[in-house]
Structure 1
């Protein structure tokens, strides 16, 4: 019982430390992509019970993936901005056309969310070009739709804090979110992502490159960004 307690408390301490480092590294804004990638790199290892030094692993991934993560983040931000502006424009249109456009942009919003859930974990786990990273993130999101829906719920759940009417409860929830919420969310999703990624990692993953046009059909190669798809 004591061992379980200390194991759980140790894990909580790791998540708090990881969350704080993640938030600090997000402050320059331009580093958000690299920070998200590093966050998932560590939590994927935690989900496999492979992590050793949290901070060292975080900054290893942060540095290694900085360039690609930054480009990907800028693309994601640009797409989000375009969707937002289009929705504002549609809001000024009357009639049936506005309803049709709302449905279209809502569908695009869902696709955006699906890619967002996978893009940084895929970058953290696999070596690949930016184009193929986007492609693989999209294909994995479609192929593993039940997991995608589950992870979307877990990811969006913290947003519910802004609908809490009690200021005291809302403040406490925000404090907990800032303390370890983002890391906890990534850690929980990491358990699902590990199961998904295992479909794309061959047994001799250390040396082999894999074209996922085979049994699972998504282009991935394997070697520890860990691997390449």
Structure 2
């Protein structure tokens, strides 16, 4: 899948759409759903290319602007300590926007939200799952650092980057982040919806099909022991039989 992703990124402008297809496959893997690698990749690619391309263009702007701003303010610190404030703000914004990407493409391939709502929800989920996001970031940094160190000592290991490393990082992100999308975005939306109107894929994700089976089992096997009618005197039973009617 890594090679397929890199091949689709060659035209540059398709990086966003390729990332959507890549995320779509990894989300299904993290959610333990059946995966058909090529067909699922291109399904995510085709369905989400517009929004993912907009996000890619936004990434180009912000991932160039924020580091440039940080370096600019850092150079000005020697003239005034006040430049520490905008420098720290830009560094915080860069970190937050980076962690928002744990949710942005997952929301794109999971929901039908507009871009502004995707960005808003990604920011909120980044704040809600801050502890998990920091753990995810730690694993990403550790994997990248170990890969770089390994390549420095044994150059042929560089082949692992296009073959393994990207998928491992992507899977960790999807596995750790998708739980928050389910809990705070998907479940609240479908909570009050009639179960027959909920798509089958969402039912499987929320395990609603299991709830239906349990409900059916309860309807078939029911303990009636507590509903036994106590014995009544013969006179009362006779009176009840005389008064019984059919409606």
Describe the SS at the equivalent of 1:91.
Answer: helix
Q: What TM-score, normalized by structure 2, do the two folds share?
A: 0.70
CA distance in 2 between partners of 1:224 and 1:141 (Å): 28
Q: 1:31 to 1:207 in 2, by over 3 A?
A: farther
Higher helix share goes to which structure? 2
* Residue-pair matches, total: 197
By relative contact order (CA 8 Å, sep 6+), the higher-ranking structure is 1
1:182 aligns with 2:166: yes
* Long gaps (5+) in structure 2: 204-247
Deviation at 1:162, TM superposition (A): 7.1
CA RMSD of aligned residues (A): 2.9
1:198 aligns with 2:191: no
Matches within 5 A, 1:81-92: 81-92=64-75
Q: What TM-score, normalized by structure 1, do the two folds share?
A: 0.75
Deviation at 1:198, TM superposition (A): 2.2
Q: 1:173 to 1:208 in 2, by over 3 A?
A: farther
CA distance in 1 between partners of 2:157 and 2:89 (Å): 34
Describe the SS at the equivalent of 1:50.
Answer: coil
CA contact (8 A) 1:113 1:152 kept: no
* Long gaps (5+) in structure 1: 1-17, 210-221
Q: What is residue 125 of structure 1 aligned with on the other side?
A: 110
The 10-residue stretch of structure 1 (35-44 or 60-69) with the greater mean CA deviation from structure 2: 35-44
Q: Deviations over 1:138-171 (max 9, x none)?
A: 11111111221122223333431575286333x3
The 10-residue stretch of structure 1 (107-116 or 187-196) with the greater mean CA deviation from structure 2: 187-196
Q: What is residue 139 of structure 1 aligned with on the other side?
A: 124
